[in-house]
Structure 1
């Protein structure tokens, strides 16, 4: 009887530990803010999307561990003003939309290889594709992507106040502006960053997540601008995703297994209480 109780206890403990893993971030790569400051998180190793409700995590959509199934390798997420969620998934070479039924609807028939970042542009989406080394656009309702620009290693997309597309690449001359005519202008030159990821434009400045440098950089959106560290170091570890949130920002950090809030004074604090975080 005693041994049976021990086995039962160990079994219950195992299930409990699995349960804990299911209500904590595993490897968050991106974060997005929707209507009424709702927060959505792309978690590469859930795999799927979390939604933050009343300060707590709930699963919005959980993909399968099986390769080539929707959101098995989710990399980015963005939310429209009407609450529609869009996510890029490299396992199926696709971008999906999610409406109220939370069912993934494929939008490009597998034309997007590795979606690194998504940007809503009116009735279209813009996506950076690491595989084809291009930036694409297509209708939010779905359709064949059209080429915007040929630029390799683009991991961050944003639009300035004039509606011009800004991209951030990990290559030389990392910040570039793309006109509506497709002309490319280099804004930040050289190699001032280590490993750039997502970016946000606020006013006349661009903010860039640098994974290797453990830094969020700030720079003016003008030719020859010199970036400066906006926030750096702990509690962040390896920032990747970045989005605007109220008067500050949210940062997705897969190594810290956390979403960090940066307030308007530049103070960094965790969004979630994660007892299992490193």
Structure 2
């Protein structure tokens, strides 16, 4: 069987909430915290979910204590499951489909997120063989997203994550290689998985740094240059990005930016938008 072609644009991985049965408001659970004002068990609809699958408090989510909802992004998995995999039949119409639909959404979100990263790897690598590898892997994943439910629910996610990670890391090393001279001037504490909570990195030239999986909660990155900085999985909650240049940073996602603090002067990668709360500060 020939693999289906992978999405050619990141716009193909954008959430279309109007075509989704509020799967993010149902499939996932959350506990009361600074990001959520109350508890909600996984698989149960949020009590603020309306009859037409819309949020009845959407306009005031952050002020009501649901900041976590404004950060979330499904990378277009919601509409893929709702419309393509389940043919537009909602879990309210068919309660017997509920658990399978929610399980499919959790897998589909991960697959779509992998595609988001692989599209960038294809575009950023200078090596034709590496681009070919990323493209082939993206095609395999796309075929899974467009296949049937049994196939989707039996995907070996650990193996797939491992394959994707290898491609992303190799591309990162290649892209960042041009900036290794700068790394000698960086703090020794900057590296994959670094604890940089509240760290003052303001107005720094961080080009080529590997901050994959780093904890940058409330870090001050104002006016800093993050060109070719690997931010795969980095925690940017409340990070200060006003005036920072992330336009050529590696592996940035919309949820990361939604969780951060920025302004109209923050430069973002193509395909990433400044969240509404940046403009209302």
TM over 0.5: no
Higher relative contact order (CA 8 A, sep 6+): 2
Structure number with the higher helix fraction is: 2
* TM-score, with length taken from structure 1: 0.31
* TM-score, with length taken from structure 2: 0.31
